[in-house]
Structure 1
Amino acid sequence: MPNSPLVPTVRRRRLGATLRKLRNDAGLTLDEAATAMGWQSPKMSKIENAVQAIRPNDLAALLDVYGVTDPEARGTLDRLCKDAGKRGWWQTYSGIVLPPYADYISLESDAEQICDWAPLLVPGLLQTAAYARETIAGITTRTPEEVAALAEVRMARQSVLTRPGSPLELWAILHEAALHQRFAARPATMREQLRRLLDVSDMPNVTVQIMPLASTPHPGLEGGFTLARFPRPVPDVVLLENLGRAAYVEGDNAAPFARAYERIRAAALSVEDSLVRIAELEEGLRK
């Protein structure tokens, strides 16, 4: 029986993209790099395009060819290589979590920093279980059982904020309009969500800013996005999402989003004023 074709995981794609960049930085063509490794060019191409896996020993030799000597960079790529085919906890929800969402959870679990611009909804890493259930049910056509399972997944994702040794650094900018959402079936949902935002802001690795209703024009007016940053030399990845569809922008193409995020951050309320505004909204819902 022939072997099943290798399904490119998001980790393998990131590794391939990083190796392509390192080859270009070293000034080598695909043929030259393949020759240095004693390979045929198609093998090198397949590795860079995530069609074929690379063994850790071959990765170490390839990094030697590219002149990568930094121990941290080599360690990062070695871990990415070894983890490329591993199953994540989210794969136990394979009937519920669609592939684009699974890809994002994988990115989130590997990232060292997430920069989120959220003009419509509170980011998943900051949601309460009730808010997650209400919003998932409102924007999808999933069954009640599927909604409950997806809310469980969203809560499980939040463990990256407290993972031992290297908790994810999260910087979330929320538009104030997202905090005026109302839930008829469970009116306390938004007040509890606002309380959650205040509580999680006490964590040293979490920063929350609010874009006021009366803000000046800024790049975020074109839509929300999530910028995931990884230990170098792995390049940044940007997630663009709309109505259940996801698109990824990677490598040098992610740079404009990083610049845009800085401008969005400058247009938002300061961190201190943002927390005051959240507290005001939370207090208003108690009346």
Structure 2
Amino acid sequence: MKFKLPKTPAVYVKGKSFRLADVDPDDTKPFAHHPDDRDEATPRLLALRQRLSELQELLYAEHKRSLLIVLQAMDTGGKDGAIENLLTGVNPAGVLVASFKAPSKEELDHDFLWRIHAQAPKHGHITVFNRSHYEDVLITRVHGLIDEKTCKQHYEDINNFEQLLMNSGTRILKFFLHISKDEQAKRLQARLDDPAKNWKFDPNDLKERAYWDDYQDAYEAAMRHCSSGDAPWFVIPANEKWARDLAISEIVVAALEDMDPQPPKPDFDPKAQVIE
């Protein structure tokens, strides 16, 4: 780990012995021992938003390095909500959110990383991937679109791709928003019950839900193969949205503080400038 990990419910994936089933999606400790304590987290979250805004401005001014945040989750896992919370108050000029859905025909005519690389963060920017290159070792594996040999090759390709980004000055943080199957059912039902949220419901989500255990296995394998101190995977217990948001913000701010971006020195003497 390149930076000191703050105390959160998040689990840093380290080693081949990691088991996703060992992570409790309801966990809110050490933030709180009961979900009703969530109001105590609000002041801390507001302070983290302010600090993130300051650090992003410095990163943008420095214009030498960048930060890539990868978000993955099961359907209804909360990626959109997590992004909205994380980027509240951040200057949009220095941020990009890239969403990766089913690849187009043109994208399928290239290697699986082609469309991903085009969205990699520019110097000075924070880029958030809503889904990512990991889809090609998740949905493709679950539905038998790739065999085990190809999947292992993709793990290697992903590790090499991320190393290339890091060699170019990009810090990488990867988050899996971990919800329970029961919580997913509640969130899907809420989308059906509220007319204002019907647009969020996709009948295909029910088809994918039938593969729940297969997806859990695929996520676990991907994180085992592709988590390192330089490009870590974190499992975020995400049944409680407030704890999810706070954990992500704590880790992102800690990583940026470790990067310690510095504004460039002016090529003139500010004291010699006279404003009439």
TM-score w.r.t. the length of structure 2 is 0.28
Bigger-Rg structure (1/2): 1
Query: Which protein has greater RCO, CA pairs closer than 8 Å, 6+ apart?
Result: 2
